[in-house]
Amino acid sequence: MNDRKRYKYKIEGIVQGVGFRPFIYKIAHTYSIKGYVLNNSLGVEIEAEGSSEDLLKFDNSLHVELPPLSRVDTISKKELNFFGYIDFKIKESDTRKSKHTLISPDMSICDDCLKELNDNSNFRHNYFFINCTNCGPRYSIIKTVPYDRINTSMCNFLMCKKCEEEYKNPMDRRYHAQPISCADCGPELFLRSIDGVLLAKNSEAIKNLACLIQEGNIVAMKGMGGFHLICDASNDKTVKLLRSRKKRQTKPFAVMFKSIEEIKKSCKITKEEGEAIISQQRAIVLVKKNKKSFLLSDLVAPHIDRLRVFLPYTPLHVLLLKRLEKPIIATSANKSGEPIITDGQELKKSLGDVIDFYLDYNREIINASDDSVLQMIGDKSIMMRASRGFTPMSFRYKSDEKRHILAVGAHQKNTISLYIDNQIILSPYIGDLDSVKSCDFFTRTLETFKRLYDFNPEVIICDLHPSYFTTRWAKKQECELRQVQHHYAHILSCMFEHKIEKKILGVAWDGTGYGDDGTIWGGEFFICDKTSYKRVAYFEPFSLLGGDKSIKDIKRVAVSMIFDIQKDNKAGDFTSFLKLFGKSELSLLRQMYNKNINAIKCSSVGRIFDAVAVFSGVCESVTYDGESGLIIESLYDKTINESYEFYLDGEVIKYKHIFTQMLEDKNPNLIATKFINALVDIFFKIANRYGLEIVLAGGVFQNRTILEKIIKEAKERNIYFPQKIPINDGGVSIGQLYRYM
């Protein structure tokens, strides 16, 4: 008996709403441990009494067995005087102190629930909201912490006897699973026509929806963090109709397949891509189309060789896909440039002219989130949009900083990040802040985070760009204000992820961002550390004629390059390109150029891609961000080793002469390949000037061909790129934050 000891554990991390207490309860019983476990505002507290031997086993399980959705950041353990507990209890939540508990992201259906969903002897057979402590909604249904049913959008649903028994049984997988429900007591489904007529409910609704999709209708369905627009992905006529109704010309749609085997019929996927696709985050993964057996409509992702694919992630998706032969387009339901729609009434108002029918349910989505998007480079991921399944993304960060700090991110692909009490938290994807509704979504997301974490910013960090919504917003707040240059923030986001503080070479190739000199940057080489940076090389600037107008109308970038070449009296007959413009438009552009009016200087690699796309003759205008890059990438030919020659004039990378060479090369594949090869050459030409480790970030590196070539050629040299944090502007907020941590 005198061998018995008592320990107190304090555990922080994602430990609430993920089945942590029942897990502790179970291992306590397994090893005859007495005491208690409870949730408090910091995480989980345990007292454990038992023999030294049993306590050792308990401690070991606590470290290695952990429930799948949990993440332990710290465990502290202290020995106390023996008390003499007679049993092991789960005690009531203790929520007096401030709220710093981390909130789990929404998770896809787990294998146990999937089994029950398909088991016709189970009382939740075919139940469209089946979930447990290891899966299902979290962030999307939570209003405030602690994460108890009363604080979620399940608060209006009274548990039936059967559900309540499971909810209260610590040995059950659904012990304290807040969204627990069944067909008798849970939310219901409603299939409606767009004019509001109720057509069917529950299982009938799913069945009818499947028929409507098969018949070629465009429908909407409420998913986890918002509605999807859905239609048959193999039906040319329907996809064409969706494109014309949505006024979305070429931007690729994501496709949901019923199984990984189905994906393999239309796409070539690597082992690692397969693992990413089936992982519990269920992100959309960007993979290569199989040109020989592509079974979907070409209009799903025209002109490019990649497809965005994913698998069903809620039981509702599983049940729908089971009834369908063909894969479906499942794209966030929103008006172009606005956030994802979460409410049936809003759907009718905004997309009444796009959809014919919609499937709604009466569990409110409190916090919206989009599907996450990533691609794989070997076994490493590149995050293109971090949202459902990944966010709120939290990192433990030890610091003496006592203040609450908010970083408001960039203007495109906006996210916010916050620092509070040794945690850095990245919000879900908010979007491009060009519409009133998106800006509202920005403030709503901030309000959510203030509520969930008792967060009250004392310092705000924003971009340098004077006309970003976030900059203007930040300047209006009565807080200490800090600003960080856009591309430096990109590099810092990667330094944060890889815990780098020392001096490195930072390479930020990007769309656009405001530079220190008031011009637009985006092809930058920095020597930098965590607190300072120096621009050591950049692409020779050109004029953005008409400013933002030239971002969509990319032939303006090309013509600006032509004017530069002609000014230097370089040879080349560009008549055919100049013919892309009407006479008056061309003379207007020439005036802008000559008089330097509305012709801001720019050094962005993203925009140089635009010019190359025009010179290769494959496109004259783009309809979505990154389109020219994807098209150039799809033209890349591995068998061509030639490269355009860039050269260095001090800090300036000279490249404009390549456009004259392109006149002779003509062949789009040759042009695209020589250009990409040249970018990689110049990368190393500059990198070789410095013996430093290399950190890279920025939207251009979403181009897998470039990144793969760089990694391959780097050989022994250390190259870091962001993997969890978005590599594009979605990562800027966390970089801004890291600067002042």
**Would you tell me which residues interact with Fe ion (CB under 5 A)?**
510, 513, 729
Q: Could you tell me which of 363, 408, 413, 411 has the C-alpha nearest to residue 386?
A: 413
Q: Which residues contact 203 (CB under 8 A, 6 or more apart)?
A: 126, 128, 319
**For Fe ion, which is the closer residue by CB, 212 or 679?**
679
Among the listed ranges 109-117, 160-168, 341-349, 548-556, the one in contact with Zn ion (CB under 5 A) is 109-117
**For Fe ion, which is the closer residue by CB, 152 or 417?**
417
At closest approach, how far in Å is the CB of 487 from Fe ion?
7
Of the residues 37, 69, 113, 464, which one makes contact with Zn ion according to CB under 5 A: 113
How many C-beta neighbours within 10 Å does residue 740 have?
A: 18
- The beta-strand segments (E) located in 129-187 are none
Q: How far apart are the first and last CA of the chain?
A: 50
Q: What are the φ and ψ backbone dihedral angles of 667, each rounded to 5 degrees?
A: -60, 120
Residues 615, 634: Cα–Cα separation, whole Å: 16
* C-alpha torsion sign, points 454, 456, 461, 467: positive
Both structure tokens of 229 = 């627009």
Residues 340, 347: Cα–Cα separation, whole Å: 10
At closest approach, how far in Å is the CB of 522 from Fe ion?
7
Residue 510 touches which member of Fe ion, Zn ion, none, C-beta under 5-8 Å by kind:
Fe ion
**What is the size of the binding site for Zn ion (CB under 5 A)?**
5
Q: Which residues contact 351 (CB under 8 A, 6 or more apart)?
A: 220, 229, 333, 335, 341
> For 247-302, where are the alpha helices, taking DSSP H only?
260-266, 271-278
**For Fe ion, which is the closer residue by CB, 289 or 490?**
490
Residue 589 touches which member of Zn ion, Fe ion, none, C-beta under 5-8 Å by kind:
none
**For Fe ion, which is the closer residue by CB, 99 or 411?**
411
Scan residues 115-154 and list those touching Zn ion (CB under 5 A): 132, 134-135
Residue 110 touches which member of Zn ion, Fe ion, none, C-beta under 5-8 Å by kind:
Zn ion
Of the residues 24, 37, 62, 110, which one makes contact with Zn ion according to CB under 5 A: 110
CA 447 to the chain's CA centroid: 20
Opening angle at CA 22, ends 19 and 26, nearest 5: 135
Using alpha carbons, list the distances in angstroms from residue 503 to 117, 252, 739: 53, 39, 14
At closest approach, how far in Å is the CB of 654 from Zn ion?
58
**For Fe ion, which is the closer residue by CB, 361 or 514?**
514
**Residue 136 DSSP class:** B
**For Fe ion, which is the closer residue by CB, 331 or 485?**
485
At closest approach, how far in Å is the CB of 177 from Zn ion?
8
Contact status, residue 105 vs residue 390, Cβ threshold 8 Å: yes
Number of H helices, E strands in the chain: 23, 32
Residues 343, 461: Cα–Cα separation, whole Å: 32
Residue 113 touches which member of Zn ion, Fe ion, none, C-beta under 5-8 Å by kind:
Zn ion
Instruction: Compute the residue count for the chain.
Output: 741
**For Fe ion, which is the closer residue by CB, 338 or 729?**
729
**For Fe ion, which is the closer residue by CB, 348 or 487?**
487
Residue 370 touches which member of Zn ion, Fe ion, none, C-beta under 5-8 Å by kind:
none
**For Zn ion, which is the closer residue by CB, 113 or 142?**
113
Using alpha carbons, list the distances in angstroms from residue 3 to 28, 82, 89, 546: 17, 10, 22, 80
Q: Is-cis flag, bond preceding 722, omega within 30?
A: no
At closest approach, how far in Å is the CB of 116 from Zn ion?
8
Q: Could you tell me which of 135, 140, 142 has the C-alpha nearest to residue 177?
A: 135
Contact status, residue 473 vs residue 479, Cβ threshold 8 Å: no
Residues 613, 694: Cα–Cα separation, whole Å: 28
How many C-beta neighbours within 10 Å does residue 530 have?
A: 17
At closest approach, how far in Å is the CB of 113 from Zn ion?
3
At closest approach, how far in Å is the CB of 414 from Fe ion?
11
At closest approach, how far in Å is the CB of 313 from Zn ion?
12
Contact status, residue 242 vs residue 229, Cβ threshold 8 Å: yes
Using alpha carbons, list the distances in angstroms from residue 342 to 178, 255, 328: 21, 20, 20
At closest approach, how far in Å is the CB of 724 from Fe ion?
17
Name the residue with tokens 């430096």. 488
Residue 371 touches which member of Fe ion, Zn ion, none, C-beta under 5-8 Å by kind:
none
Q: What are the φ and ψ backbone dihedral angles of 462, each rounded to 5 degrees?
A: -135, 180
39 is catalytic: yes
Residues 728, 439: Cα–Cα separation, whole Å: 19
Both structure tokens of 287 = 């993979």
Exactly one of 21, 124, 308, 535 is catalytic; which is it? Answer: 21
At closest approach, how far in Å is the CB of 478 from Zn ion?
45
Q: Is 461 helix (H, G, I), strand (E, B) or coil?
A: strand
Residue 729 touches which member of Fe ion, Zn ion, none, C-beta under 5-8 Å by kind:
Fe ion
Helix axes 668-687, 704-714, angle to 10 degrees: 40
Residues 431, 449: Cα–Cα separation, whole Å: 17
Among the listed ranges 104-112, 355-363, 400-408, 412-420, the one in contact with Zn ion (CB under 5 A) is 104-112
Q: Is 124 helix (H, G, I), strand (E, B) or coil?
A: coil
Among the listed ranges 4-12, 18-26, 102-110, 289-297, the one in contact with Zn ion (CB under 5 A) is 102-110
21 is catalytic: yes
Residues 118, 513: Cα–Cα separation, whole Å: 50
Exactly one of 2, 4, 6, 39 is catalytic; which is it? Answer: 39
**For Fe ion, which is the closer residue by CB, 54 or 510?**
510
**For Fe ion, which is the closer residue by CB, 228 or 490?**
490
Contact letters for Zn ion, residues 197-236 (x by CB under 5 A): ----------------------------------------
At closest approach, how far in Å is the CB of 149 from Zn ion?
17
* Beta-bridge partners for 694: 505, 719
Residue 18 makes contact with Zn ion by CB under 5 A: no
Residues 589, 603: Cα–Cα separation, whole Å: 19
Residue of this chain nearest to Fe ion (CB atom):
510
Q: Is 655 helix (H, G, I), strand (E, B) or coil?
A: coil
At closest approach, how far in Å is the CB of 165 from Zn ion?
17
**For Fe ion, which is the closer residue by CB, 273 or 510?**
510
**For Zn ion, which is the closer residue by CB, 14 or 113?**
113
Q: Is-cis flag, bond preceding 146, omega within 30?
A: yes
Contact letters for Zn ion, residues 364-403 (x by CB under 5 A): ----------------------------------------
At closest approach, how far in Å is the CB of 141 from Zn ion?
15
The residues annotated with a catalytic role in the active site are 21, 39
Binding site for Zn ion (CB under 5 A): 110, 113, 132, 134-135
